[in-house]
């Protein structure tokens, strides 16, 4: 069985993502956390355009390509059809996973996601969050952090990059009373796999929001993807935590919290901020405030 899995993974290697891209690592480690058959949906984005280039296909499981906006609607429809077949004697147990980038989840596809969560469909949403529309050249999304230089929030004489805070999709999905929502990152694969297994096995709409550092658009060497991911957690920019039936658990608490500048100084998208220390201070205050808020939520029983 182990040999079969090795030679026939659910998602094939050798795709066309950029060198150093985090997305294949995310997909493989999520899909490998269940022995049950999986039906996947994938929204338009980096994952879709690099895994389904005709005549090639990286998916070795049933996978439905969707537009940016409708992966949650599609997987909800398939899951509903599965329930109908079960009532008529179909006995196989199948899991449903919807993949989307931040453009397809935070922005364009959020309406469909919110509806699927509200209706209680039994599926797992996996968001690979690379903080922008990166496969189309790096436009800002609702996940893009304050101060980042993007093609639609260019840093220059007038503005210093994006002027708004990033949206917190994790908390928005928690507010939908999901039984399980978690944040994960690729530098801690054991934590990611544990959360993926829990999300897939938990009945109801669940979500994994996973930081996916983008070497091409964030502007760092491909060999530093894991280092950048780790710094995101060590600076509390990307806390690793989970919310199970409303109970918060912060999985990693840095023994010595690093300043946010150690995370942003390694990325060209923030290079202009060296001339604007007040912007870095503003970003640090946001991170500190969110971290304190998270710890207080964990204290609540």
Please write the tens of the pLDDT for every residue from 92-136.
899 999 999 999 999 999 999 999 999 999 999 999 999 999 999
pLDDT at 187 over 60: yes
| Over residues 188-195, mean pLDDT | 98
> Rounded CA gap, 156 and 123, in Å?
43
Closest-CA residue to 68 (of 112, 123, 115, 22): 112
Pair of tokens at residue 211:
């930081």
The confidence score (pLDDT) of residue 301 equals 64
> Rounded CA gap, 24 and 292, in Å?
33
What helix, strand, coil percent values describe the chain, rounded to 5? 45, 15, 40
> Rounded CA gap, 76 and 56, in Å?
27
Closest-CA residue to 209 (of 192, 187, 229, 227): 192
| Over residues 48-54, mean pLDDT | 92
pTM of the prediction? 0.95
Confidence grade of residue 1 (pLDDT, cut at 50, 70, 90): very low
Portion of the chain with pLDDT greater than 90, in percent? 92
> Rounded CA gap, 1 and 6, in Å?
9
Classify residue 59 by its DSSP letter: B
């Amino acid at each position: 069985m182990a040999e079969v899995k090795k030679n026939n993974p659910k998602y094939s290697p050798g795709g066309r993502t950029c060198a150093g891209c985090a997305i294949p690592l995310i997909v493989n480690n999520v899909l490998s956390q269940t022995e049950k058959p999986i039906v996947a949906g994938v929204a338009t984005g980096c994952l879709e355009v690099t895994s389904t280039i005709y005549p090639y296909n990286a998916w070795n499981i049933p996978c439905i390509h969707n537009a940016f906006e409708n992966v949650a609607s599609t997987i909800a429809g398939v899951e509903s059809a599965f329930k109908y077949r079960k009532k008529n004697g179909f006995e196989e147990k199948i899991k449903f996973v919807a993949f989307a980038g931040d453009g397809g989840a935070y922005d364009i596809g959020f309406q469909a996601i919110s509806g699927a969560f509200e209706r209680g469909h039994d599926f797992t949403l996996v968001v690979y969050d690379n903080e922008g529309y990166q496969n189309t050249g790096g436009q800002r999304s609702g996940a893009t952090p304050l101060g980042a230089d993007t093609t639609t929030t260019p840093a220059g004489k007038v503005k210093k990059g994006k002027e708004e805070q990033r949206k917190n999709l994790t908390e928005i999905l928690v507010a939908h009373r999901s039984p399980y929502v978690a944040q994960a990152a690729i530098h801690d694969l054991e934590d990611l796999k544990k959360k993926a297994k829990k999300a897939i096995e938990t009945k109801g709409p669940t979500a994994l929001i996973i930081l996916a550092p983008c070497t091409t658009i964030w502007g760092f060497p491909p060999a530093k993807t894991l280092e950048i991911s780790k710094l995101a957690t060590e600076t509390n920019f990307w806390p690793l935590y989970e919310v199970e039936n409303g109970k918060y658990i912060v999985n990693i608490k840095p023994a010595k919290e690093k300043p946010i500048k150690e995370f942003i100084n390694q990325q060209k998208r923030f290079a202009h901020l060296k001339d604007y220390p007040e912007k870095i201070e503003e970003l640090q205050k946001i991170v500190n405030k969110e971290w304190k808020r998270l710890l207080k939520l964990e204290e609540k029983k």
